[in-house]
Structure 1
Amino acid sequence: MNNIHFRILNVFLILGVILSMSSCGSRKNMVYFQPDSSIINTVYQQSVPKIQPDDILTISVTAADPKVTAPFNLTSAMSNSNMTQQTDLALRPTYTVDNDGDIIFPMLGKVHIGGLTRLEAIEVLRKRLSTYINEPGVNMNFNNFRISVLGEVARPGSFIMPTERVSILEALGMAGDMTIRGVRSNVVVIREVNGTKTINRLDLTKQDVLNSPFYYLAQNDVVYIEPNKSQINNSKLGANTNIIISIAGLLITVISVLTR
């Protein structure tokens, strides 16, 4: 009887070891940017996000004489000298890019900036404003540059970025990085350009990912981290845990009764 119990115990111990080994990941699957022969030539200028329809932009005009900029800066009536800088930014006018890539700007009317980078759009406005203002300055920022990070990360969610220059690593950092269960070799970036969505895959275990045109993210990108096989298997096991425990308990009871 004791021998049979001992064998049963060994079976469960072996199963436990097998399950624990299957959940362990190798260094090859876990470490970012493993050394290889890739030549790193990351150029942000080749991946600068372009202005798209439905983008919301905060734009302000500056000049040596602030009075001449008043017609071009639709400042809220609530503005006053006692406001903090953060409150002032929140009250600055925003401009939504329409489906044709245009905005309606005070005094200038319709201005086409769709498909341009932020710096290119600033230059377009500066040239138009130079008719009215001597050496005008233009400040422009995205007001809704949103990135979503989903899947096997510590804090999934959507994040409004303070700048359009954001790498996939920075996005993962904001989401608390991948969990140990995330697949680093098959990170999905979903991007929409001119109404067309594309699915792009990155291998963050290789240095060559730094050369990818998707290393730097664009507005409204969705980053998805898929679970590894161990996590998928664990989820299946978790759904049937109570049944498995009940059956195992019943078998042990039956064996104990029969071997008395």
Structure 2
Amino acid sequence: MKYPKIYKFYACCVITLLLFSSCVSRKEIVYFQGLEKAGDRLEINKDKSLQIKPNDLLTISVSAPEQAAAMPFNLPVMGMPQAGEANGRSVMGQQQLQTYLVDGEGNIEFPVLGTLNVAGLSRQALQQKLKSRIGEYVQNPIVNIRLVNFQVSVLGEVNRPGTFDIRDEYLTLPKALGLAGDLSIYGKRKNVLVMREEQGKKTYAYLDLTDPGIVNSSFYTLQQNDVVYVEPNGAQRQSASYNRNAGVYISIASVLISIAVLITN
């Protein structure tokens, strides 16, 4: 039994469309294209220091050669309780520094020194400010500061979306995407949204991961509480309206039609 030529024509069309739809160009996938040609125009923002913002949580410890003199400038250390008791007493776990909450006005209440405005300062700038103020009371003070609520959220078409705690002060967009397991094949690499809050206002930027020039953007280096969103590409949006296995079924049907055409030829 031979199929009419029109059937063969339809089969060829299906196979051709399937082949074209399965091909994804390099320009749509590869990151930082043309990096070797970008040359000197690529310059990452040299100011990598995070600025302290309202609602940030800070740990600040003060020490000095005469530790007794530095004690009044430290909050009491808290012990983290653990389950269980020993000899009728609760067992205390690892000790932990208390945190300073930066209020809506950008202030903290610091022992002895009182109200200090810290919003807009980097960790290093606040460190120098405290050393200068405490130095009026203590010789050669040592001040250690850490921002403990540095988090970023990565959402959308990534392999492991979520909110991530960052231990250091420097986080780039590619590193954040790496923490989220990189973009899935369905994520749009040319339109990654980064949202942040600055001075009480929401700001945002769309970045193109295929362009090496994104390192020049102020949004390339992330800040605390930034949100990164990867938009799904057109194929993924369309697949949301039908069974995700439809592509598999179409592929199987195309192969069967091709085999039938070859057999009957």
| TM interval, short-chain normalised | 0.7 to 0.9
Measure, in 1, the Cα distance between the counterparts of 2:78 and 2:26.
Answer: 59
2:42 pairs with 31, 40, 43, which one? 40
For 1:236, the equivalent position in structure 2 comes to 241
1:147 pairs with 152, 157, 161, which one? 152
Query: 2:181 aligned with 1:182, yes or no?
Result: no
Query: 2:102 aligned with 1:100, yes or no?
Result: no
Q: TM-score, normalised by structure 2?
A: 0.80
- Give the fraction of aligned pairs with identical amino acids, expressed as a percent: 41
Q: After TM superposition, give the deviation of residue 12 of structure 1 in Å.
A: 6.1
String of CA shifts for 1:107-144, please: whole Å, max 9, x gaps. 11101111111111111111111111111111111111
Alignment partner of 1:44: what SS?
coil
Measure, in 2, the Cα distance between the counterparts of 1:77 and 1:153.
Answer: 38
1:138 pairs with 122, 143, 156, which one? 143
For 1:3, the equivalent position in structure 2 comes to 3
Q: After TM superposition, give the deviation of residue 197 of structure 1 in Å.
A: 0.5
Measure, in 2, the Cα distance between the counterparts of 1:150 and 1:237.
Answer: 23
AA of the residue aligned to 1:50: Q
Q: After TM superposition, give the deviation of residue 68 of structure 1 in Å.
A: 1.6
Q: What are structure 2's unaligned runs of at least 5 residues?
A: 81-92, 254-265
AA of the residue aligned to 2:44: T
For 2:73, the equivalent position in structure 1 comes to 72
Aligned residues: 236
Structure 1 stretches of 4+ with a deviation exceeding 3 A read: 6-17
Q: What are structure 1's unaligned runs of at least 5 residues?
A: 80-85, 249-260
Q: TM-score, normalised by structure 1?
A: 0.81
- Residues 175-214 of structure 1 correspond to what in structure 2 (within 5 A)? 175-214=180-219
Measure, in 2, the Cα distance between the counterparts of 1:132 and 1:166.
Answer: 37
What value does the CA root-mean-square deviation take over the aligned residues? 2.8
For 1:82, the equivalent position in structure 2 comes to none
CA contact (8 A) 2:63 2:71 kept: no
> Cα distance 1:77–1:49, how it changes in 2: closer, same or farther (>3 A)?
closer
Query: Which structure shows the bigger proportion of residues in helix conformation?
Result: 1
Query: 2:173 aligned with 1:168, yes or no?
Result: yes
Measure, in 2, the Cα distance between the counterparts of 1:228 and 1:78.
Answer: 50
Q: After TM superposition, give the deviation of residue 54 of structure 1 in Å.
A: 0.3
Measure, in 2, the Cα distance between the counterparts of 1:23 and 1:29.
Answer: 13
Q: After TM superposition, give the deviation of residue 37 of structure 1 in Å.
A: 3.3
CA contact (8 A) 2:160 2:180 kept: yes
Measure, in 1, the Cα distance between the counterparts of 2:181 and 2:11.
Answer: 36
Measure, in 2, the Cα distance between the counterparts of 1:94 and 1:226.
Answer: 36
> Cα distance 1:221–1:16, how it changes in 2: closer, same or farther (>3 A)?
farther
Query: Which structure shows the bigger proportion of residues in strand conformation?
Result: 2
CA contact (8 A) 2:64 2:138 kept: yes
CA contact (8 A) 1:164 1:219 kept: no
String of CA shifts for 1:71-120, please: whole Å, max 9, x gaps. 122232539xxxxxx944xx101000011110001111101111111111
For 1:29, the equivalent position in structure 2 comes to 28
